[in-house]
């Protein structure tokens, strides 16, 4: 699906259409000036024809302003043809009205800009030839001098200027964009290359080297178990880093704690972390509490593994640390002293909670809930 | 005629198959092994195991392919997805294909026979990390999509399993029978199996898979 911010009309086309629009408005203003002069000073000019030409030019100028909002409309042959019909009518009006001087001003020229925009230099020159022919016929029929007729060729000059300018701008823009996309592609390629190298190096430095050590130490099960587990964690972190580049929030902090405790107490911590959130103060307090809970489980439970689970729930982080160790009777443990007390107090102070559920011989579960994150 | 369950192993790693065999052969009959999806799909209906221990990523088509092919010929054969992959897509695909359990190899070890037995007897075993995924899927379900969310009871079941409770412990803690728990698990698998199809198509979209295809006909300036 195409997202809405992708603009189907390139910037260059919007700019060109603006230029065409300015030519049209200026051409019309110039014509309006001449129409006013003709109206006031030329009693021979047929007023109906003069007014009709002015109104037609005004209406079509408004239509052009509207059409410029969707530049693709202005590039259709229908628009160019209708635009030309109006321009030809305006250009012929001076002759039909019997005015002593031409009053079409810059309006016909603006058709050349429209044609150049729609079809480049070729179309603008074709339009200029049509206009010139119209003028020459008009000059001849109204019996003017042959020298005046040559003035019609000014249209061809304009057509060349418009056509050449628009074609060149478009070509340059296309070249620039092609160069940019080639550069972008190369950049992506290089980034991929670097990523591949980094991955290969990392695999070599960690996995391969550890495996070699494992092979030499194969007859020491404890050492092998330790090496394999620390390697598992290294790979876990690596995967995590590749999946969530730049992440240094709750999840990363919890994994660091897990590694710390596993190393210190030679216990396996089976970890499920469902959501990641930024490390705000209440979340940090929960991470610290988790460290204590894991330490207790590792030191006192006697279990070979501990489960660590965390989720984000209604603006709070919840962590569960569960072991299947010896457990204890919470009621028998004196309240108000030691680590459990200080931890609980700290969690309460930050708006959270710290709950221990334990039964002798069934293990212990600690539930840590952080204070509100926002 | 003995009543030991018949197990078939599918894994492309020889070491993993050897490990699984080591843990299982005392209690089950290993009736065959395959190291790719195509051989597996062909051999399994002939060997007619009760349950297939199935790796997710396989040469020749992946675990989903095996489940779909085998189910056509032998719908009663059960599958336990058993894999190192805790990738979201893999869990979703296999759930959708209709596996009877999904455990990651983090649980590899002495527990394996129990897990195989649980999957063979319709208990729908999942490991703690997969249970975490199930909760994620449930959270993503949009009511408007016409898919049922888990009930609060079902949610509690999965939550306890994610926290490291066994099925027996979960049942005890919720004061229900293990049979009731198994019924919950079947419903959970059914619901999330359907939900995973929607989740999968959204993941495909988010990872740019869909967008890339749509763009092919597009000629404008990329911004």
Q: pLDDT tens-digit profile of A143-179?
A: 877 777 777 888 999 999 999 999 999 999 999 999 9
Supply A253's token pair.
């902090």
CA separation for the pair A192, A188 (Å, rounded) = 6
Chain B nearest-CA residue for A6: B223
Dihedral sign, CA of B23, B28, B29, B31?
Answer: negative
* Closest chain A CA to residue B128: A272
- pLDDT of B219 higher than 50: no
**Do the Cβ atoms of B222 and A5 come within 8 Å?**
no
**Cα–Cα distance measured from residue A245 to residue A256, given in angstroms and rounded to the nearest whole number:** 16
Q: What is the mean pLDDT of residues B180-207?
A: 80
pTM of the model: 0.61
* Residue A86 confidence (pLDDT): 95
Share of chain A above pLDDT 70, in %: 93
| pLDDT at residue A62, rounded to an integer | 95
pLDDT for B86:
64
Of A2, A177, A274, the CB nearest to B135: A274
- Percentage above 90 pLDDT, chain A: 44
A173, closest residue in chain B (CA to CA) = B221
CB contact under 8 A, B162 and A272: yes
Note the pLDDT of residue A346.
78
Range from A109-113, A132-136, A183-187, B219-223 carrying the lowest mean pLDDT = B219-223
- Give the residue, B207 or A325, on which the prediction is more confident: A325
- Mean pLDDT value of segment B186-207: 76
Q: What is the mean pLDDT of residues B67-75?
A: 92
The rounded mean pLDDT for chain A is: 86
pLDDT at residue B223 in the model:
34
Q: How confident is the model at residue A206 (pLDDT cuts 50, 70, 90)?
A: confident
Q: Which of A161, A79, A72, A175 is nearest to A120 (CA)?
A: A161
Tell me: pLDDT of B208 over 80.
no
Q: Is B26 near chain A, with CB under 8 Å?
A: no
Chain B: closest CA distance from residue A1 (Å): 5
**What residues in B contact A320, CB-CB < 8 Å?**
163-164
Query: Which of residues A374 and A13 earns the better pLDDT score?
Result: A13
Q: What is the mean pLDDT of residues A57-77?
A: 91
Test A274 with B132 for CB contact under 8 angstroms: yes
Chain B residues lying within 8 Å of A9, measured CB to CB: 220
Q: How many CB pairs under 8 A join A and B?
A: 54
- How far are the Cα atoms of A52, A103, B145 from residue A89, in angstroms, in the given order? 9, 12, 61
pLDDT-wise least confident of A229-233, B9-13, B48-52: A229-233
Least confident window among A29-33, A237-241, B67-71 = A237-241
When mean pLDDT is compared across A287-296, A324-333, B186-195, the lowest value belongs to: A324-333
**Beta partners for residue A367, in sequence order:** A320, A355
**A7/B222 touch (CB, cutoff 8 Å), yes or no:** no
Residue of B nearest to A306 (CA): B164
Residue A91 in this model has a pLDDT that exceeds 80 = yes
First to last CA, chain B: 70
Q: Above 70 in pLDDT, residue A126?
A: yes
Does the pLDDT of residue B211 top 80, yes or no?
A: no
CA A307 to chain centre: 41
Tokens of B189: 């698998």
Within an 8 Å CB–CB cutoff, is residue B152 touching chain A? no
The whole-angstrom distance between A189's CA and the closest CA on chain B is 18
- DSSP helix/strand/coil, A45: coil
Please say whether the beta carbons of A289 and A354 come within 8 A.
yes
- Asked if B163 is an interface residue toward chain A (Cβ–Cβ < 8 A), one would say yes
Neighbours of B47 (CB within 10 A): 17
Q: What is the pLDDT of residue B221?
A: 37
The pLDDT of residue B70 is above 90: yes
**HSE (CB half, 13 Å, CA atoms) of B80?**
29
- B208–chain A Cβ distance below 8 A for any pair: no
CA distance A157 to chain B (A): 33
pLDDT-wise least confident of A210-219, A268-277, B48-57, B171-180: A210-219
What residues does A320 pair with on adjacent strands? A309, A367
pLDDT: which is higher, A257 or B107: A257
Instruction: Quote the pLDDT of residue B214.
Output: 38
Q: Do A7 and B218 touch (CB under 8 A)?
A: no
User: Quick check: helix, strand or coil at residue A327?
Assistant: coil
Decide if pLDDT at A54 tops 70: yes
Kindly report the nearest CA distance between residue A9 and chain B, in angstroms. Answer: 7
Interhelix angle for B88-97 vs B62-73, to 10°? Answer: 0
**Are residues A322 and B165, on separate chains, in Cβ contact within 8 Å?**
yes
Res B165 pLDDT > 60? yes
Task: Report residue B81: phi and psi, to 5°.
Answer: -70, 130
pLDDT at A72: 86
The pLDDT of residue A6: 45
CB spacing of B215 vs A272 below 8 angstroms: no
B217 has a chain A CB within 8 A of its CB: no
Residues in chain A, overall count: 374
A43-72: average pLDDT: 92
A102 is written with which tokens? Answer: 């031409």
The C-alpha atoms of residue A2 and residue B214 are separated, in whole angstroms, by 7
Taking CA–CA distances from A321, the nearest residue in chain B reads B163
| CB-CB neighbors (< 8 A) of B129 in chain A | 270-272
Interface of A with B in 299-328 (CB under 8 A): 306-307, 309, 311, 320, 322, 324
At B111, the pLDDT band (50, 70, 90 cuts) reads confident
Distance CA A57, CA B47 (A): 87
Q: Does the beta carbon of B168 lie under 8 angstroms from any beta carbon of chain A?
A: no
Q: Is pLDDT at A123 greater than 80 in this prediction?
A: yes
Percent of chain B beyond pLDDT 70?
85
Give me the pLDDT at residue A233, please: 79
Name the A residues in 242-281 with CB < 8 Å from any B CB: 270-274
């Amino acid at each position: 699906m195409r997202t809405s911010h992708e603009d189907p009309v390139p910037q260059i086309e919007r700019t060109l259409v603006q230029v065409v629009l300015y030519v049209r408005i200026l051409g019309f203003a110039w014509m309006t000036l001449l129409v006013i002069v003709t109206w006031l000073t030329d009693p021979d000019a047929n007023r109906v024809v003069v007014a009709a030409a002015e109104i037609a030019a005004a209406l079509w100028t408004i239509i052009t302003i509207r059409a410029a909002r969707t530049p693709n409309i202005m590039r259709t042959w229908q628009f160019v043809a209708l635009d030309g019909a109006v321009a030809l009518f305006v250009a012929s009006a001076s002759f039909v009205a019997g005015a002593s001087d031409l009053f079409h001003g810059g309006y016909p020229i603006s058709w050349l800009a429209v044609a150049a925009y729609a079809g480049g230099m070729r179309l603008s020159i074709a339009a200029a030839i049509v206009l010139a022919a119209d003028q020459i016929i008009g000059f001849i029929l109204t019996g003017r001098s042959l020298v005046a007729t040559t003035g019609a060729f000014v249209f061809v000059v304009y057509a060349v200027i418009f056509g050449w300018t628009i074609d060149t701008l478009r070509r340059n823009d296309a070249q620039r964009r092609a160069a940019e996309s080639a550069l972008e592609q190369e950049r992506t390629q290089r980034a991929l290359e670097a990523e591949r190298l980094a991955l290969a190096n990392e695999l070599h430095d960690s996995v391969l080297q550890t495996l070699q050590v494992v092979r030499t130490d194969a007859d020491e099960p404890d050492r092998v178990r330790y090496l394999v587990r620390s390697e598992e964690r290294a790979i876990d972190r690596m995967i995590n880093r590749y999946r969530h580049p730049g992440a240094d929030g709750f999840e990363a902090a919890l994994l660091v704690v897990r590694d710390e405790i596993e190393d210190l107490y030679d216990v396996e911590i089976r970890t499920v972390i469902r959501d990641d959130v930024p490390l705000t103060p209440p979340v940090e307090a929960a991470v610290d509490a988790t460290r204590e809970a894991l330490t207790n489980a590792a030191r006192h439970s006697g279990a070979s593994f501990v489960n660590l689970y965390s989720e984000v729930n209604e603006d709070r982080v919840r962590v569960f640390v569960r072991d299947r160790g010896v457990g204890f009777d919470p009621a028998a443990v004196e309240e108000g002293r030691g680590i459990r007390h200080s931890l609980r107090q700290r969690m309460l102070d930050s708006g959270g909670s710290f709950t221990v559920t334990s039964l002798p011989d069934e293990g212990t579960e600690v539930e840590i809930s952080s204070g509100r994150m926002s | 005629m003995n009543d030991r369950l018949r197990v078939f192993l599918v894994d492309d790693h020889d070491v993993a198959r050897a490990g699984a065999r080591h843990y299982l052969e005392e209690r089950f009959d290993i009736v065959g092994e395959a190291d790719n999806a195509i051989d597996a799909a062909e051999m399994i209906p002939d060997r007619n195991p009760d349950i297939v221990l199935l790796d997710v990523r396989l040469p020749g088509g992946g675990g989903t392919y095996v489940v779909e092919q085998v189910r056509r010929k032998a719908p009663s054969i059960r599958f336990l997805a058993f894999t190192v992959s805790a990738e979201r897509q893999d869990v979703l695909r296999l759930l959708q294909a209709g596996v009877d359990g999904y455990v990651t190899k983090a649980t590899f070890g002495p527990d394996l026979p129990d897990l195989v037995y649980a999957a063979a007897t319709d208990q729908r075993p999942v490991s703690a990390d997969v249970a975490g995924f199930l909760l994620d899927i449930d959270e993503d379900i949009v009511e408007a999509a016409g898919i049922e969310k888990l009930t609060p009871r079902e949610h509690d079941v999965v939550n306890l399993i994610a926290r490291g409770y066994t099925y027996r412990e979960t049942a005890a803690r919720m004061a229900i029978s293990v049979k009731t728990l198994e019924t919950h698990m079947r419903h959970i698998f059914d619901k999330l199996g359907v939900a995973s199809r929607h989740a999968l198509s959204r993941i495909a979209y988010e990872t740019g898979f869909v967008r890339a295809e749509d763009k092919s006909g597009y000629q404008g300036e990329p911004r």
